[in-house]
Every structure is written in structure tokens, then in C-alpha cells.
Amino acid sequence: MNIQSKLPNVGTTIFTVMSALAKEYNAINLSQGFPNYPSSQKLNDLVANAMNNGYNQYAPMAGNIDLLIAISNKYELLYKSTYHPEKEITVTAGATQAIYTIISAFIRPNDEVIIFKPAYDCYQPAIEVNGGKTISIQLSAPGYTVDWNEVASKISSKTKLIIINSPHNPSGTIWSAADMLQLQKLTKDTNIIVLSDEVYEHIVFDEVRHQSACLFEDLKQRSFITASFGKTFHNTGWKIGYCCAPEALMIEFRKVHQFNVFSVNHPAQKGIADYMQDAETYLELNTFFQQKRDLFLSLISKSRFKFKPSQGTYFQVLDYSNITNEYDVDYAKRLTEEFKIASIPLSVFNDNSKDDKVLRFCFAKTEETLVKAAEILCRI
């Protein structure tokens, strides 16, 4: 057969490559972004209770009503922002499915989508498989700040969607209120939709407030917000997320959602809904992960790596330019093979594999793992 791929440039992801290397060389795996400690026993028990109490058939297409209400209550509590639980929130099979569905619902051939690189690797393939054109804006280490004049210059009559991500994976930086106001100004009185990837919204450090798109009234009216319970509750394998948007946008989203997923794991939805009745389950995450960040950075403070403390997410970017001039992919592989520690090179998320000589390390790990990892990094 003569197969013409719709994604001819997509191969094995760097996450798969680095995790496979970590396994092959018995290395400490700080590459993929998942915890190596269990999710809450209380949450696990609530999901089991949901199974035992009959929540084993299809959930409603939009989501279990108890969970939709819990999500709505969370936005009211954190942001004083209202989303109607039945009309403006949909539970998804993780945030990646939400992102793919948003793009599929709105992007037609030759539509342009602005993204900021380094960018999480699911954005561009979803744009391209739907016939859209990616317009990328390259950000640079160590600050990864946005040049809003460049953004303005790249908005055209073909711009349909702008994808933003704060707290930002992979850099660990966050957008300020000033950034969000600039985005709001540039999109005001346009038909541009904003996709705000906020999966790390509860992991922001040093008492800084997360600037959700829903805090800015005009921006909220054109925005989807995507979120992830896997990131929030330490169970990425459950693949439960959600998105919020004004009703007119959500109607279009659900037209696609009902045919590519329809509904997601019902007992997990019910268990999470019951767990969220205590807001501390997500309000405590900033402190929890800041302690891990601070421990990791204190342990590597005398290493040869340079760093700016992560502002959010559970990732820390380390600059290795004082150690070697190797291409970051090659260096990440060598660290895994020779020093038994796996990370993610950022060039794979950049335009033209731009190499800033930085690697991303995940600190959502046990204290024991972080101590062992730091001992290795300090020997390099």
C-alpha cells in the first residue's frame, strides 16, 4: 500500500525515548512528568466506593453532575468566576483529549494557530492533522518572556486560535497579569479563540497568583480552559481532565467530543467529585510541590548546573552550558547512559531544534529519589 501520512514528520516522542533509556540503563527517571508516589488512599477508596455503588456504566456525555458542580464551585472559590456546570464544563479523557477536541472543533484547512515554543508536543500535530498551519513564536532561556510586538505582527486574518500554557511546561515559567492583559487587548473585537492550557494551575510558587484566563472578562468570553486531575491528584494514569468555556463555544466542542470519546471513566469521576468536597485537596498543592522544588534546588546548589527556580509546574530547567557544549539531546542521552539519570532536552520543543543548553527535570518524586538524583547531578 502507498500510505500518505497526515503527520509525516511525527516519530517516537522524546518522552518514550528517554523513559526507555532510563529503563534500559536502570537510571533515575526524572524525564516524564509523573509522580513516583501513590495517589491519596482516600481518593482511591472513594473511586472504589463508586464502583461498588453502581457507577459502572456510561457517565453522561458532559460528565458526572456531581463532578461538574465540584468544578464549577472550584472556579467560584479560586477565581470568583462562574461556569454553568451543565452548559459550560465538560469532563474529558485527560487534558490532551480536550486540547485535541478543541482544535478539531474549530480548525479548518489553512486556518492559522499561534503557539509559543518551547511548546508541549501535542499542540502542533493536532493543528496539522486538521489541516491548520502552526505559527510559532520562539521563546528563549532563561526567561522565556513574550515579545508582544512579535505576537501582534503574527496575527492575521487567518488566525483562528492562540494556544497559551501557564504555568508553562517545559520551562516552569508563568505568565503575569500584564501578559494576560496584552493577550486580551490583541484579541479584543476579533473572532480569535484562545486555548488556555492550565493543567498546572494549582502548582505555582512563592505566593504568586495563577493568572487564569477566566480572571479577564473579555478574554474569558473567547477562551477554553483545559485542566487535568492527573496533575492535581497524582494519578496521571487515570486520564481524567476537563475544559471550561462559554456556552456557545462548548456547544461546538461537544459536537466533536461526543464522537471521539463521548464520556469518560464514571467511577473515577464520582470518586474525584466526592474528594473535591474538601477544597484543601487542591489548595495545598502549592506548598506540597514548593517543598519538593526547594529541596531539589538546595541539594544541587553546589553542582555545576545553573538555574532560575521554577515558578510553577513540577519541572525544573537546568542550564548545563558550564559543563559541556554538547547538543542537548545527545547530552541527555549520555547522562542517562553514563550517570544513570534521565531528563528531557528542551530543543525538541523548539523551532529548528533551537538548543539553549538546558534540560528539564521532574521533581514530583519522593524525597529519597530527589536526594539520589541530586547526588548524581553534583558529581557531574
Say what the pLDDT of residue 32 is.
Answer: 87
User: What cell numbers appear for 226 in the block?
Assistant: 483545559
**How many CB atoms sit inside 10 A of residue 178's CB?**
11
Q: Are β-strands 344-345 and 223-228 bridged in parallel, bridged antiparallel, or unpaired?
A: unpaired
- Average pLDDT score over residue span 292-302: 98
Express each pLDDT in 115-169 by its tens digit: 999 999 999 999 999 999 999 999 999 999 999 999 999 999 999 999 999 999 9
For residue 116, list its beta bridge partners.
137
* Stated pTM of the model: 0.97
pLDDT confidence bin for 295, thresholds 50/70/90: very high
The region that residue 92 occupies, defined by phi over 0 for left and psi between -120 and 50 for alpha, beta otherwise, is beta
What is the DSSP annotation of 163-217? EEESS-TTT-----HHHHHHHHHHHTTS--EEEEE-TTTT-B-TTPPP--GGGSH
pLDDT band at 377 (very low <50, low <70, confident <90, very high): very high
Predicted local confidence at residue 66, as pLDDT: 98
Q: What is the mean pLDDT of residues 287-301?
A: 98
Rounded to a whole number of angstroms, the distance between the first and last alpha carbons of the chain is: 50
What are 243-259's pLDDT values in tens digits? 999 999 999 999 999 99
Average pLDDT of the segment spanning 168-195: 98
Counting residues of the chain whose pLDDT is more than 90, the rounded percentage is 97
Domain 14-32+284-379 falls under CATH 3.30.70.380: no
- How far is 364 from 236, CA to CA, in rounded Å? 12
Please compute the mean of the pLDDT values over residues 42-68 and round it to a whole number. 98
Is residue 12 scored above 90 in pLDDT? no
Mean local confidence (pLDDT), 170-174: 97
CATH architecture of 41-278: 3-Layer(aba) Sandwich (3.40)
Q: Is the bond into 267 cis (omega within 30 degrees of 0)?
A: no
Residue 83 C-alpha cell reads as 461556569
Mean pLDDT rounded to a whole number for the chain: 97
The rounded Cα 59 to chain-centroid distance in angstroms is 25
Question: Domain residue spans in the chain?
Answer: 14-32+284-379, 41-278
DSSP symbols for 76-124: HHHHS----TTTSEEEESHHHHHHHHHHHHH--TT-EEEEEES--TTHH
10 has pLDDT over 90:
no
Helices 94-106 and 247-260: angle between axes, nearest 10 degrees: 110
Residue 11, pLDDT score:
82
149: left (phi over 0), alpha (psi -120 to 50) or beta: alpha
Do the Cβ atoms of 292 and 314 come closer than 8 Å?
yes
Q: Is the model's pLDDT at 223 over the cut of 90?
A: yes
| Residue 277 pLDDT exceeds 90 | yes
Which of the four pLDDT bands, split at 50, 70 and 90, describes residue 289?
Answer: very high
What is the C-alpha to C-alpha distance for residues 88 and 252, in angstroms, rounded to an integer? Answer: 11
Q: What is the DSSP string of 7-33?
A: STT--S-HHHHHHHHHHHTT-EE-SSS
Over residues 328-356, mean pLDDT: 97
Q: Check whether 329 has a pLDDT greater than 90.
A: yes
